[in-house]
Structure 1
Amino acid sequence: MPFMSRVSRFWLLALLPLAALLWRFSAFMPPMTPLSALYLVLTLVGWYGLLLGLLALASSLFALLPRRLGATLVVVMGACAGALAWVDLEVFEQYRFHLSPFVFDLFFSEPGEVISFSWLTWLAGIAAMLGCLFICVGLWHFSRARWPSWPAWTLVALCFLSSQLWHAVADARADSRITVLTRNLPAYQPLTAKRFMVKHGWAKAHTETQALDFHQKGALRYPLSPLSAHPKQKLNVLYLLVDAWRADELNPQVAPNISTFAKSPDTKRYLNHYSGGNSTQAGIFSLFYSLPATYWGAFAGSQQGPVLMDWFKENDYAFGIYGSATLRSPAFDKTVFSGISPLHSQAGEEKRWRRDSNSVEQFGQFLEQRDPKQPFFGFLFFDAVHAYDFPPDFESKVEPYWQRVDHIKLNNDFDPTPYRNRYRTAVRYVDSLVGKVLEQLKAKGLLDNTIVVISADHGEEFNDHHKNYWGHGSNYSDAQVKVPLVIHWPGKEGGEVSYRTSHFDLVPTLAQDLFDVEAPLTDYSLGQPLSRQGDRPWLLVGSYYNYALKGNNEMVVAYPTGQTELLSGDLSPLPGRPPAQAIKAALTWMGRFYR
């Protein structure tokens, strides 16, 4: 009997107990419909059948060894795969994250400090390993029976293709009954093709999404307790956010209008403020949810909006949402503004500066047409700074500036001055638009009853530390995560605040000082009110693919590969190990709002 044929049958047989074990992850998923259950079955057979097929190819090399040794290695490999799946299930049940190189690094480098198991868990693990070994010995025995394996592998391939295509369509059509399941499965990376499908007419480009009824029974447990919001006074709230605006570019030379406004009565400027991430997705998410950016996938999959926006809805606020860039990528229409309509976007306009100008005009029309007896929540997201764009005839240019952005020229020896001056010119332009919005509010007498929040999603780097970093999303230095924050709050004392604050603090501040929410902050937020000055040795910041703990003069960066680095503020490596207790606290927060 050919050894490779037997190996193929062994791994096919192994798919049965593996799929049965992985089905237990459904306990962490929302209640499934027949269709979502079918999708899960196709995924278990298709995706994990593909992974076992790769193991079959790898273990076929054992045919080069003596027959008994090769068979033993195949059985041991199968037992190890099954034991890893069981350990992943136990880890996920306790911490709500899957096994990764980072988890192994934490476990072995800081034993018992971050990830710990009781003696009973260890005993169960040993029993699981022995059980997997026993099962695999039996599977190897049954693989002696001669039957063709190609029909079964064909079925695996069909399940794989159908489940991946199903997920891609569900993602494009915002069908969270499917997408909400994916984060719960280990080693799973489903296919997405939203833009491709919309472009070819295979999915509809939704302008709005509605939260589905099963959210409250989903994998998320957010908030942890019922919340009741009753405003002390119905003040309007307006967010003016500038994409890619770093903290040190809020000054009279670059942003004269905002700098002047920051010194006006009832207005406070926060000098040491940090975004929740170095990217738009992470920054906006942290600002509205007051949760780590690692929750993005779960909230986007379930289309669950933040409690902050629920409070505005419950208290009959009118919404004026104006994004210069698309609000669909990142999917803020499924998260921050889920269930809110209409959402206005200028994404079809080529020039970013014109998008920003159009948004200001539309917001002015919103102020004219709204019911003055109804409070409003406004949101303007300016994109010109992110694109280093401004009108050709804009007079307040910062000289000398780069006439054309050419990223291929950027290197460690490049003089950033003309590049940064172009960026500063874009900031000046957006500052002029913010000035127009503030004048509109002043002319209508709205500054007396409107909370105005002026900030950014993240910063922008110009090789500040001479390590050839440009732009954002690449590290967690102050250049990329420290941002301006100016808040005008009628009736509150103005001035400047020097202690550290975070995007996580906006929701708690509005919860307590505007909506009079009495529930514990930790039931819905990682932050604290902006008025609370306290020791915050670490801030949790994130990106699209990793996260970091940012201290006053150092940071701990965790990578998807499992590597962790302890860096200084200028990104230089520091000796020593990452602080175990800080990492443990961060992991607790990153799993706190999962069931």
Structure 2
Amino acid sequence: MVERKKQMTRDKVSRLVNWGHWFAFFNGLLAIIVGTRYLSSVGYPETLIGWGYLAISSIGHFSFLAFIVYVVFLFPATLLLPYSKILRGYAALIATLGLCILLYDTVIFDDYGIHLSPFAFDLAWSDLNALLGNTSYIATPIGIILIELTAANFLWKRIEKIEKKQLGNKVIAFIGICFITSHVIHIWADANDVTQITRFDDTMPLSYPATARSFMESHGIDGTTAPDKTYQTKSKQLNYPIAALQCKAQKQQNILIVSVDGLRADMVNPATMPFFSQYQQQNKQFTEHFSGGNQFNTGMFALLYGLQGSYSDKKAFEHTAPVLTQVLSEQGYHQAVFMPQDNADELANHAIFDGMDMHLSHSDIGSAQTDIKNTELFIQWQAQQASPWFSLVNLSATKHYDTPIGFLGIETVKPHLSLKPAEKVLYNQYRQSLFFIDQQIQQLLTNLDDQTLVIVTGTHGQIFSSNPREVNQDLSPANVKVPFVMHWPKTTSDTVNYRTSHYGVVPTIMGQALHCNNPITDYSSGYNLLQPSEKSWVYIGDSSTFAIYQQDEITVLGRHGKYRIYDIDYKKRLKRKLSAPELIQVMREGRRLYNK
């Protein structure tokens, strides 16, 4: 009798386990349906290969998530409480909760471009009314739990019939094949840079597709192909500018931007840069100016597009030139860029310099010699111009602590900063390169017509480290705060002490020099430099790692929502929560130029 009871219990548990597997499979199908909402954010595939990958990836991924929920929450309950009525009700509640979380994640992803995390939850909680703007958040869970209870009872009553058809192994095999195949295809796509597939990498929650690039590179294999510049990463269309530009070509003035890589704001003084220091005093200087990033590509993107760095890695901008250069071209400006070949290579697949003559230099001797070449090329080019012109001259010796061979520099001094011995060496070598760059700036500006609009600034700042990873990850003021001097014809010298950024360069030129009447928000994330910004924050970085500079603190955020908050000098980490209202503005600004 006892043995018979044990056997009956085992049979009951076995039936419940089988039922649980089919219930998990059913919820995997529901999760796939809910997961289609992510496509409204990232866009639908536009090729058969994209649709095929998305189909098998969704089947494998969401079925796997449903199975994990079953193993964690339902399977232990099946063993502890093998009572079908209790288990069916409990399973329906768990499944409803899981689908509601998935639905909420689709809302968060659509609004902020990130998945649920402690950071995202804090952000969303402060913006709850905007996210849940109707009563559907009440009706939806009720509808889901009714579906779950119906499905749980339906499957329980028919579990024996389903088992007789022996479909379980076939379904498991099919899901397993989809799961493995999706990862194998992604390995191939990652190795060959197939953006129709890799663009979905961050779409699904808890998705970590297998890659092969690091393995291939470690074995000296180059598996990449030329990027597909015609493929759009989103079916959401880039709306840049938001409205057609209304610009009136009046009296045209020449425009020169001199951008120096690694130019720190706190290192410009009469001893290191005598000409530039005097030039600052004679023109309009901005003492609280920030680049758009801590690297060349983000700093240059902010300078010429006037958009925050979260747009900089979007594929749409690989074939969308800045509105600034578009308008300059329409108004008959001859445009030219003078920069090191290495810097141009970083933006080789980008449309940032489209429509501009490229004058690129390279020297095996060092970046200082390259800067000398570019300075000479610009002087020759400028002397030949008859029509209005716009030019960007990019110098990079300071970034590499470089000076020409035989260069007579300045004396070594005690650093004004607290530095380690190796950093002190870099500090004084940096001063030598500043002294050299000062001479190049003098040559560039000395023979210019006084009616030329001139901007001299840093592409980004500099920290005293020879570790590239440390330099690229550092978002401190030393690495992003740069000098900014503007010579505006027929204006007096002035010192501007309110906070400004590279995002304001495009609106200033467009409004003041090119006489465009559109609202600045039609084409830029910035404000006119001649007026204090209404924003209480500045975005610095790209879409993966960035900092939000506020009035009294700096918030640094990583790709997966981890954040750290520092004081405004970046010297002390603060134990406080992020300021959600500003972060909400940041997230929305980074998606504002896309139509749904």
TM-score (norm 1): 0.78
Contact 2:324 2:506 in 1 (8 A): yes
Residue in 1 that maps onto 2:5: none
Residue in 1 that maps onto 2:584: 584
Residue in 2 that maps onto 1:406: none
Q: Which amino acid aligns with 1:224?
A: I
- Find out whether 1:418 has 2:425 as its counterpart: yes
Paired residues, number: 561
Further displaced range: 473-482 or 326-335: 326-335
Task: Measure the CA separation in 2 of the matches of 1:518 and 1:302.
Answer: 27
Further displaced range: 568-577 or 213-222: 213-222
Select which of 432, 435, 439 maps to 1:432. Answer: 439
Contact 1:220 1:298 in 2 (8 A): no
Task: Measure the CA separation in 1 of the matches of 2:362 and 2:144.
Answer: 54
Q: Aligned to 2:375, what secondary structure does the other structure show?
A: helix
Pair 420,244 (structure 1): closer, same or farther in 2 beyond 3 Å: same
Select which of 145, 149, 167 maps to 2:167. Answer: 145
Q: Which amino acid aligns with 2:167?
A: A
**Residues 122-157 of structure 1: per-residue CA shift (max 9 Å, x gap):** 214524653784598478966873333335423432
Task: Measure the CA separation in 1 of the matches of 2:223 and 2:184.
Answer: 17
**Residues 435-469 of structure 1: per-residue CA shift (max 9 Å, x gap):** 33224xx1xxx433432221112222359xxxx99
- Find out whether 1:447 has 2:462 as its counterpart: no
Residue in 2 that maps onto 1:252: 270
Residue in 2 that maps onto 1:268: 284
Contact 2:233 2:314 in 1 (8 A): no
Residue in 2 that maps onto 1:460: 462
Residue in 1 that maps onto 2:60: 49
Q: Aligned to 1:527, what secondary structure does the other structure show?
A: coil
Residue in 2 that maps onto 1:354: 369
Pair 215,186 (structure 1): closer, same or farther in 2 beyond 3 Å: closer
**Residues 273-318 of structure 1: per-residue CA shift (max 9 Å, x gap):** 1122333333222222222222223355664333222222333433
Q: Aligned to 1:23, what secondary structure does the other structure show?
A: helix
Deviation at 1:361, TM superposition (A): 3.8
Task: Measure the CA separation in 1 of the matches of 2:234 and 2:54.
Answer: 25
Task: Measure the CA separation in 1 of the matches of 2:371 and 2:212.
Answer: 30
Residue in 1 that maps onto 2:108: 91
Deviation at 1:420, TM superposition (A): 0.9
1:481-492 equivalences in 2 (<5 Å): 481-492=480-491
Task: Measure the CA separation in 1 of the matches of 2:207 and 2:323.
Answer: 29
Pair 64,248 (structure 1): closer, same or farther in 2 beyond 3 Å: same
Task: Measure the CA separation in 2 of the matches of 1:536 and 1:186.
Answer: 32
Pair 490,469 (structure 1): closer, same or farther in 2 beyond 3 Å: same
RMSD: 4.4
Q: Which amino acid aligns with 1:296?
A: S
Contact 1:293 1:542 in 2 (8 A): yes
Q: Aligned to 2:443, what secondary structure does the other structure show?
A: helix
Q: Which has the larger radius of gyration?
A: 2
Flag structure 2 segments of 5+ consecutive residues without an equivalent: 1-13
Contact 2:292 2:309 in 1 (8 A): yes
Deviation at 1:421, TM superposition (A): 1.0
Deviation at 1:513, TM superposition (A): 0.6
Residue in 1 that maps onto 2:510: 511
Contact 2:313 2:542 in 1 (8 A): no
Residue in 1 that maps onto 2:500: 501
Deviation at 1:270, TM superposition (A): 1.2
**Residues 334-353 of structure 1: per-residue CA shift (max 9 Å, x gap):** 2523x446645457847333
Identity fraction in percent: 22
- Find out whether 1:378 has 2:391 as its counterpart: yes
Contact 2:344 2:360 in 1 (8 A): no
Contact 1:322 1:359 in 2 (8 A): yes
Residue in 2 that maps onto 1:408: none
Pair 226,565 (structure 1): closer, same or farther in 2 beyond 3 Å: same
Q: Which amino acid aligns with 2:458?
A: A
Q: Which amino acid aligns with 1:450?
A: T
Task: Measure the CA separation in 1 of the matches of 2:444 and 2:517.
Answer: 33
Contact 1:385 1:423 in 2 (8 A): yes
Select which of 383, 407, 427 maps to 1:394. Answer: 407
Deviation at 1:180, TM superposition (A): 6.5
Flag structure 1 segments of 5+ consecutive residues without an equivalent: 403-410
Residue in 2 that maps onto 1:162: 185
Contact 1:87 1:125 in 2 (8 A): no
Task: Measure the CA separation in 2 of the matches of 1:18 and 1:101.
Answer: 22
Q: Which amino acid aligns with 1:376?
A: W
Residue in 1 that maps onto 2:324: 308
Q: Aligned to 1:455, what secondary structure does the other structure show?
A: strand
**Residues 88-137 of structure 1: per-residue CA shift (max 9 Å, x gap):** 222344455543431112345x4748x64235142145246537845984
Q: Aligned to 2:369, what secondary structure does the other structure show?
A: helix
Residue in 1 that maps onto 2:135: 120
**Residues 396-452 of structure 1: per-residue CA shift (max 9 Å, x gap):** 1552699xxxxxxxx98557432211122222222222233224xx1xxx4334322
Task: Measure the CA separation in 1 of the matches of 2:208 and 2:239.
Answer: 23
Task: Measure the CA separation in 2 of the matches of 1:152 and 1:131.
Answer: 27
Q: Aligned to 1:435, what secondary structure does the other structure show?
A: helix
Q: Which amino acid aligns with 1:90?
A: V
Contact 2:367 2:396 in 1 (8 A): yes
Deviation at 1:525, TM superposition (A): 1.9
Q: Which amino acid aligns with 1:223?
A: P
Q: Aligned to 1:532, what secondary structure does the other structure show?
A: coil
Deviation at 1:262, TM superposition (A): 2.8
Q: Which amino acid aligns with 1:254?
A: T
Pair 27,105 (structure 1): closer, same or farther in 2 beyond 3 Å: closer
TM-score (norm 2): 0.78
Pair 278,90 (structure 1): closer, same or farther in 2 beyond 3 Å: same
Task: Measure the CA separation in 2 of the matches of 1:12 and 1:365.
Answer: 71
Deviation at 1:576, TM superposition (A): 5.1
